[in-house]
Structure 1
Amino acid sequence: MSKHFTLDKFEEEASGRRNVFADESKDANRIFWEHVCRTNSCAFLYGSDLTGTACSEDAGKWNLEKFSNDSLLGMIRSSGDPDICGVNLPMLYVGHAFSMFGWHIEDNALYSLNYMHKGSAKTWYGVPGHEAQKLEKLAKSLFEQKDDLSCRLYQKLSMISPNLLLDAGIPVYELVQRPGEFVITMPRSYHSGFSHGFNVGEAVNFALPEWIPYG
């Protein structure tokens, strides 16, 4: 279901909801998974894949669009091909408490640069790129009776507990991103996560020479 909000109205909607993550003395990771397991669902609003940027033009090298086009992806623009939203053009992500993004890798196994402009923290999980096939094998065993695996992973529809991955011998790393911080994901590195409350993030892809074998 789609709804239309201004950013202020979205923040107002978020502040009107009980935020179970508000007490930072409690483990957000435990709260999230206990809630998911207890209810078997999560109701939340998430403004995802919104074309645009909140970076000012004078942000210099940390203007995400400039950063992407200073990488190998700049050849897309110099060759006259159209810009690609979410690849060499940034996208914005506006979250609520429990807004989640399922396990996925970036298009064409690119790097990604993710910046948080403001709001509550966001928990990220990451699996190294060389372990990607193990995660895909586990996901297939979990979801093969439900629907197409590639569709679920491509559309970020699958949340798998880090404990399940660890039990399967797949290393998982966790970090908490706060306003003013960047998160970089590596080629073929599966990642997922959730927001602790209202926040505004921005992301773009980029490519280094080391990416070429993946691409």
Structure 2
Amino acid sequence: MSSTSMYVPTFEINQNQMENLIHFIYEKEQILKEYGAIKITLNQNCKLALKKRKKIPSSCEINKQIVKMTENNLIYSVKTVDQINEHDIKQNYLIKNENDFWSSLSSLKSNNEQRQLNISFSPNNSFFLQKTSRQYFDIHRLPRESILKIAGKDVLNKFVPCIKRAHGSSSIFPLTSADQHLFSIDYHHEGGNHHWYVIPNSQRDFFKKILDKQNLSIGCLDHGQILVDPLLLDKNQIRYHKIIQHSNEFVVLSSGTLAQSFTEDSSWSEFINFALPSWIQDSHAYNSRSLCQCQISDQSYLSKLIDLNLYPSVLVQKYINSSENSINSGTSILLRDETDVDIFTMPTANNSSTNSINGISFLK
């Protein structure tokens, strides 16, 4: 059976585009929606505001493991355990490619053998310095340059980076979607390659129907409850896309995208959420987590849903007009509300291409 996957587009950016990354992503949004994700590589002139001495943050290790749901099934359930099996963590699952990884999982016996996720998270920690100079990229800056800025500081202060750690080869990040279906960006600091599988939002309903036909108690798709073998997606003609993320590369996930990944070796990465206007326009913001039955204790999720009354349509439209005008003119536009209070500034790159297909690569 032919595969229904291909690798997401890869864009290489320069220093000027790095300084205005939200605008670059906004320009590529249609491609981002189609594939569910894009990969961004940096040329040699890009400057990152990274800490010279990385202090290892305390992290919350995930006491979870995956279990094969049925012998002939291609779906793995994520179960919480009382304590982590130290022997299983130290066990070395040597993998060289995705075939090795999925073969090792398929050999698990239904309900009798488990595999630790072997991951941990450190919310509100970052290996990036908070810089004021735009010459050095700082991941903290992205939510404040996105449409989230309209809501003000009380909302923005909730958007902080989260460090992810893979503790060894074959560490597993199960299927998730960004909190409240926001956009998300992930930077790979160092360590083994990350193998991603992303399902665009356009495939979400079809994917859910296929899972419902399995007559399994799966529950929520958004909060790390399952891991899905891509053979199931191929078998049911569900379109999905792959990414191999190396160190010093970004992966950007579109609003509503479902994503899962595994690592070739131990690694450090971090992510932060942000929003583009389509998050509101395409009704992603209205997908309330209050409808989810998951008992979420992970601090990386927002404690409260964002109040959409903080995003009046007039300010959303001003943001859109500002972004489009700035991209076309290469200038910064300052928007003001009726009381002449500064709302936001959107500086842009002067030499960013407006042709959304320029710079695309489909290499791994």
TM-score range, shorter chain: 0.7 to 0.9
Give 1:1-215 correspondences, 5 Å limit. Answer: 7=56, 18=92, 20-21=94-95, 26=96, 28-40=97-109, 41-58=114-131, 60=134, 62-76=137-151, 78-81=152-155, 83-84=157-158, 88-95=159-166, 96-142=168-214, 144-146=215-217, 149-150=219-220, 153-212=221-280, 213=282, 214-215=284-285
Q: Which amino acid is the alignment partner of residue 185 of structure 1?
A: L
**Structure 1 unaligned regions, length at least 5:** 1-5, 11-15
**Shift in Å at residue 185 of structure 1?**
0.6
- The alpha-carbon distance between structure 1 residues 128 and 64, as it changes in their structure 2 partners (threshold 3 A), is same
**SS of the counterpart of 2:211?**
helix
**Separation in structure 2 between the aligned mates of residue 43 and residue 120 of structure 1, nearest angstrom:** 18
User: Residue by residue, what CA displacement relative to the aligned partner does 1:57-83 show, whole Å, maximum 9, x if unpaired?
Assistant: 23846311111221112234x253473
**29-38 vs 59-68, which moves further:** 59-68
| Structure 1, 48-57 or 103-112: larger mean CA deviation | 48-57
Q: CA deviation at 1:192?
A: 0.7
Distance 1:202 1:121 in 2: 14
Q: Is the 8 A contact 2:199 2:257 kept in 1?
A: yes
Distance in 1, matches of 2:122 and 2:239, equals: 28
More helix by share: 1
| Distance of aligned partners of 1:138 and 1:52 in 2 relative to their CA distance in 1, 3 Å threshold | same
Contact 1:42/1:98 (<8 A) preserved? no
How far the C-alpha of 1:17 sits from its partner, in A, is: 5.3
State the SS of the aligned residue for 1:146: coil
Amino acid at match of 1:18: N
Offset of residue 9 of structure 1 = 11
The separation in 2 between residues aligned to 1:111 and 1:93, in whole angstroms, is 17
Question: Matches of 1:46 and 1:54 in 2, distance apart?
Answer: 18
Please tell me whether Structure 1 or Structure 2 has the larger radius of gyration of its CA atoms: 2
Tell me the TM-score normalized by structure 1: 0.79
Q: Percent identity?
A: 19
2:340 is matched with: none
Following the alignment from structure 1 to structure 2, what is the Cα–Cα distance between the partners of residues 53 and 8? 9
Separation in structure 2 between the aligned mates of residue 9 and residue 19 of structure 1, nearest angstrom:
25
Q: Does 35-44 or 174-183 show the bigger shift?
A: 35-44
**How has the CA–CA distance of structure 1 residues 191 and 81 changed in structure 2, closer, same or farther, with 3 Å as cutoff?**
closer
1:138 is displaced (CA, Å) by 2.1
1:158-188 deviation line (CA, Å, top 9, x unaligned): 0111110121110111111011000011111
Kindly tell me: are residues 81 and 184 of structure 1, through their superposed partners in 2, closer, same or farther at Cα, counting changes over 3 Å?
closer
* TM-score, length of structure 2 as denominator length: 0.49
Quote how far apart the aligned CAs of 1:44 are.
4.5
2:169 aligned counterpart, secondary structure: coil
C-alpha distance in 2, partners of 1:175/1:99?
16
- RMSD of aligned residue pairs (Cα, Å): 2.7
The 3 A distance-change label for structure 1 pair 110 and 190 is same
Equivalent position SS for 1:114: strand
Matches of 1:129 and 1:184, distance apart in 2: 14
Alpha-carbon displacement from aligned partner over 1:56-109 (angstroms, at most 9, x marks no partner) = 223846311111221112234x2534733xxx2110100022221222221221
Q: Does 1 or 2 have the higher relative contact order (CA < 8 Å, sep 6+)? A: 1
